[in-house]
């Protein structure tokens, strides 16, 4: 699977997003930086206990 290649500083209005519980998640390690205006917070309405 491809991953982010390179090293640069984020510019104003960019975010690097990472999932802290899923080491193989499709986050900024895969897609790169995202525009802050595109970021949203989602909260689950219901979850099933494991």
- What integer pLDDT is reported at residue 6 of this predicted model? 77
Burial class of residue 40 in the structure, from the number of CB atoms within 10 Å of its CB (0-12 exposed, 13-18 middle, 19+ buried): exposed
Among 20, 17, 37, smallest CA distance to 29 is for 17
pLDDT number for residue 31: 85
The reported pLDDT for the residue numbered 37 is: 95
Confidence at residue 1, expressed as pLDDT on a 0 to 100 scale? 64
DSSP summary character for residue 14:
E
Domain ranges in the chain are: 1-39
pLDDT for the residue numbered 29: 83
User: Which pLDDT tens digit goes with each residue over 1-50?
Assistant: 667 777 889 999 999 988 888 777 888 888 889 999 999 888 888 888 76
pLDDT value at position 2? 67
């Amino acid at each position: 699977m491809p991953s982010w290649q390179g090293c640069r500083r984020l510019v104003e209005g960019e975010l690097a997003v990472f999932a802290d519980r899923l080491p193989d998640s499709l986050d900024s390690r895969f897609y790169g930086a995202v525009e802050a205006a595109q970021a949203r917070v989602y909260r689950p309405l219901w979850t099933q206990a494991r």
